[in-house]
Structure 1
């Protein structure tokens, strides 16, 4: 999913994308836009994602107004991307793209196209915000 989002973002001229498996709170702060993703585990976000968000809050990482999106896969319930997006929006005051992207199991071609569309939307919104 992340690679398809990257592909969509790179379809917008002038966009550089850096896909990471893990990220630090400082890297979040340094990014122009952020797409965070993870699968749903037992109706919740992964422990790693919770730790990242808790550490970012403790360190008072400023993400206010930064373009953000949440995505993830699920097998049964799929709450994690929605929970993540709400935290990005309400706790960190990010300018999020709604709704969160959820894909059941592994994405098929239709799901990958949704990922590419999300990537393009993130890039376009970021460029628009940077141009004022």
Structure 2
């Protein structure tokens, strides 16, 4: 894993105008940009200590990180780390989506979990 430049992390997006961001945050970001040993833990620290981030900023960050650091061996998206804007089940491929649909028909023929459970990725929403 390689360190991610601050510009890739921030992407020019901030919640507040630059003038009102505390100097401590600027210093922290500058520090994490210089650390090369374990950049993933630095990103966790940034978000742990900055809970007022808007969801769109977090989504944008993860999209940037995913684009920069995504290993070429993985052509699917891990469900637990995905954002609702991503097409997770589609990334599993036609054959695997078929297996998931078979299991859904067998164990949930009335589609209770597809229609009545809020949130999550639903196999009934997949269009492939």
- TM-score bin, normalised by smaller chain: under 0.3
TM-score, structure 1 length as denominator? 0.27
Q: Counting helix residues as a fraction of each chain, which structure ranks higher?
A: 2
**Higher Cα Rg, which structure:** 2
Q: Counting strand residues as a fraction of each chain, which structure ranks higher?
A: 1
